């Protein structure tokens, strides 16, 4: 069983770290990115194993965690519900006890946040949220790192969300509160943010707009995501109708700042939540965002297992 070098911490939602810790992780992500691009070998996680548990589909999350762990000198094991005992009803608590005695760090993509929390409460090693119905903190961390690289500090800026009140939207709102920027949200009637999930301090960073065009005015970053997240597929037809005016298109980008960026966590549906002209246009940084999952998650795993360097 692994001996922890630093006190046990989990990364279950964006609010688990402070603004000072994010300043360190963003800086460290850049150091690790540059090191890797320079072929400068860095193996702080030699002999360590990452368990990756997937109860939903993934391309980016699986690949970025697996490649990242390899680059840090460790090894990653892919587990999914279909061919492990998790899919046959083994209690999450028992699985956490066992998996955390054989591995050193665990990433989970699952449905309810409660499942992740029950797993973490029974884990002897750090647990990372690789997406739940409620949050997707690794993606927003990569997005903020991308903004930081291209435009500098995000504090004081306006981030506009056009679309579904989903795991990404709630994570952005947590980030707005911790990193001190404004979050503009616009989605159709019938799909509002659940205000019972939003703290008083988060509300100070939130402005809700009926009109997606008004929400984009003056934005430094416009971002969206699929209208139907994994697990909600039976609502797809109703959502296609309800969200049709919430497409991020050239008109919406035209009222944002002249140097505004467009982000999407991917996978995307061109012609639904974003037009081809925007996602394939000059303001889009979706490929940078995807690549940066790798670099920020390396910094995250290093931080959770080794603490701070320098």
Active site residue ranges: 109, 136, 139, 225, 265, 293
The footprint of ligand CP on this chain (CB under 6 A) covers a number of residues equal to 8
According to the binding rule CB under 6 A, does residue 171 interact with ligand CP?
no
Report how far residue 249's alpha carbon sits from residue 278's, in angstroms, rounded to the nearest whole number: 6
According to the binding rule CB under 6 A, does residue 168 interact with ligand NVA?
yes
Residue with tokens 């402070």: 18
- Of 40-48, 62-70, 164-172, 215-223, the window that binds ligand NVA (rule: CB under 6 A) is 164-172
- Mapped onto helix, strand or coil, the DSSP state of residue 305 is helix
Quickly count: other Cβ atoms within 10 Å of residue 207's Cβ. 15
According to the binding rule CB under 6 A, does residue 129 interact with ligand NVA?
no
> From residue 128 to residue 147, what is the string marking binding to ligand CP with x (rule CB under 6 A)?
---x-------x--------
According to the binding rule CB under 6 A, does residue 59 interact with ligand CP?
yes
According to the binding rule CB under 6 A, does residue 167 interact with ligand NVA?
yes
Output the smallest distance, CB 261 to ligand NVA, in A.
Answer: 19
* Closest CB to ligand NVA among residues 80, 180: 80
Which of 29, 61, 223, 297 touches ligand CP (CB under 6 A)? 61
Given CA atoms 120, 81, 51, 64 in this order, what sign does their dihedral have? negative
According to the binding rule CB under 6 A, does residue 226 interact with ligand NVA?
yes
Alpha-helical segments (H) within the chain:
19-37, 60-71, 92-102, 113-121, 137-151, 167-179, 200-203, 212-216, 236-242, 250-255, 276-279, 286-306
* Closest CB to ligand CP among residues 105, 107: 107
According to the binding rule CB under 6 A, does residue 120 interact with ligand CP?
no
* List of residues 6+ apart from 197 with CB closer than 8 A: 134, 170
Query: Starting from the edge strand earliest in sequence, which strands make up the sheet with 127-129, in order?
Result: 75-80, 49-54, 105-109, 127-129
* Closest CB to ligand CP among residues 139, 166: 139
* Closest CB to ligand CP among residues 59, 236: 59
Report how far residue 260's alpha carbon sits from residue 267's, in angstroms, rounded to the nearest whole number: 21
Return the closest-CA partner of residue 203 out of 173, 225, 179, 175: 173
Output the smallest distance, CB 204 to ligand CP, in A.
Answer: 28
Q: Are 145 and 178 in contact (CB under 8 A)?
A: no
Report how far residue 270's alpha carbon sits from residue 273's, in angstroms, rounded to the nearest whole number: 7
Output the smallest distance, CB 109 to ligand NVA, in A.
Answer: 9
* List of residues 6+ apart from 254 with CB closer than 8 A: none
Chain position whose Cβ is nearest to ligand NVA:
229
Residues in contact with ligand NVA by CB under 6 A are 131, 166-168, 225-226, 229-230, 265
Residues in contact with ligand CP by CB under 6 A are 58-61, 131, 139, 265-266
């Amino acid at each position: 069983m692994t001996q922890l070098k630093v006190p046990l911490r989990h990364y279950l939602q964006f609010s688990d770290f402070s603004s000072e810790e994010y300043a360190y992780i963003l800086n460290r992500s850049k150091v690790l990115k540059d090191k890797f691009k320079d072929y400068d070998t860095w193996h702080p996680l030699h002999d360590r194993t990452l368990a990756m548990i997937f109860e939903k589909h993934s391309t980016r999350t699986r690949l970025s965690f697996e490649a990242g762990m390899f680059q840090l000198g460790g090894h990653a094991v892919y587990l999914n519900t279909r061919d492990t005992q998790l899919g046959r009803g083994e209690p999450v608590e028992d699985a956490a006890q066992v998996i955390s005695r054989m591995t050193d760090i665990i990433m989970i993509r699952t449905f309810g946040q409660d499942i992740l929390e029950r797993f973490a409460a029974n884990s002897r090693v750090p647990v990372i949220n690789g997406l739940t119905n409620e949050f997707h903190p690794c993606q927003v961390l990569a997005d903020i790192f991308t903004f930081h690289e291209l435009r500098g500090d995000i504090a004081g800026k306006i981030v506009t969300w056009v679309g579904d009140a989903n795991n990404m939207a709630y994570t952005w709102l947590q980030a707005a509160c911790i990193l001190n920027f404004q979050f503009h949200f616009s989605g159709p009637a019938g799909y509002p943010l659940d205000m019972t999930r939003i703290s008083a301090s988060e509300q100070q960073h939130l402005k809700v707009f009926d009109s997606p065009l008004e929400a984009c005015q003056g934005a430094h970053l416009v971002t969206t995501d699929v209208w139907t997240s994994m697990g909600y597929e039976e609502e797809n037809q109703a959502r296609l109708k309800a969200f049709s005016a919430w497409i991020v298109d050239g008109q919406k980008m035209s009222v944002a700042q002249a140097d505004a960026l467009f982000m999407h966590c991917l996978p995307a549906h061109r012609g639904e939540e974003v037009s081809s002209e925007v996602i394939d246009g000059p303001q889009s940084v979706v490929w940078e965002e995807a690549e940066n999952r790798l670099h920020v998650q390396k910094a995250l795993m290093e931080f959770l297992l080794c603490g701070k360097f320098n």
